Amino acid sequence: MDDLGGRTVVLTGAAGGIGAATAHALAARGARLALVDRAEAPLAALADSLAQAVPGIETLSIAADVTSEADMTRMAEDTLARFGRIDALITTAAILRGETGMRPLAQTSFAEWQRVIDVNLTGTFLSNRAVLPAMLGQKMGDIINLSSTSGRQGRAFDGPYSASKSGIIGLSEALSEEVSRDGVRVQTLLPDAVDTGLWAQAGTSGLKPRAMLTPERVAEVILYLLALPRDTYLLNSVVVPVPTRRRKGGKKDG
């Protein structure tokens, strides 16, 4: 895989499971990182762990909310002020649902709907829009938006999440068509179930599938997308775990 030394990568949701794993993978390849998350304490802890793992790593911690237009504008401005350019944006900020558990759409409040759409879809829009002027000015850039297999096939009782992730696919497809000829490559990744803290939200830990991706495996795929030749891109790539193997007698391993 190509070395990422000297490339500046903005990572939203950096303190989360996929975000933190991706930050460590990028740091190991020499990237300069703008770490973006609304949770300041976990963000500081991530920066410390990166400094210990990769001495000399250049990082910028930005406490910001992806649903805030002002925060996303500041994110881009602060990154440019520190590093002078933005080579890539990876959007991992997401929530599974708001303050409630799984429920039918007929029982879903507008506040619940709005919160999930704001973080997952509007947050992707605002962060993408914020970095585009720099990338278009450079005639080069990479955007990797994380959707989900739920964005391709909606999941019952999780209408807001499925809709938000489907919206990310449509947004990314439209943006790719707009800017690909200007040197900006937009790719979308659709992971299946990933073993992160999202499953602890609203009491869904008991619903975790047996076979799940690790955040580190998703990070490896993200780095693969970044390393593709400039004349190649993958849109709506689905990443799934290998099903749990069955032993003789019908029992499953693990």
d(Cα 239, Cα 209) in Å, to the nearest integer?
15
* pLDDT at res. 162: 94
d(Cα 91, Cα 108) in Å, to the nearest integer?
26
CATH no. for 8-239: 3.40.50.720
* pLDDT at res. 253: 46
Whether 237 and 225 have beta carbons less than 8 Å apart is answered as: yes
Catalytic residue among 161, 198, 222, 226: 161
- Residue 219: name the closest of 10, 15, 14, 26 by CA: 26
| pLDDT tens, the chain, 254 aa long | 458 888 999 999 999 899 999 999 999 999 999 999 999 999 999 999 999 999 999 999 999 999 999 999 999 999 999 999 999 999 999 998 766 677 899 999 999 999 999 999 999 999 999 999 999 999 999 999 999 988 788 888 889 999 999 999 999 999 999 999 999 999 999 988 777 766 555 555 555 666 678 899 999 999 999 999 999 988 888 888 777 544 455 455 44
* pLDDT at res. 22: 98
* pLDDT at res. 182: 98
Which alpha helices (H) appear in 84-183, and where do they start and end?
110-117, 123-138, 149-152, 159-179
* pLDDT at res. 197: 66
Domain extents in the chain:
8-239
* pLDDT at res. 103: 83
d(Cα 185, Cα 144) in Å, to the nearest integer?
8
Whether 128 and 89 have beta carbons less than 8 Å apart is answered as: yes
* pLDDT at res. 247: 46
List the 184-191 sheet strands across, edge first. 59-63, 32-37, 8-12, 88-91, 141-146, 184-191, 237-239
Active site residue 161: yes
* pLDDT at res. 2: 57
**3-state DSSP assignment of residue 110:** helix
**3-state DSSP assignment of residue 98:** coil
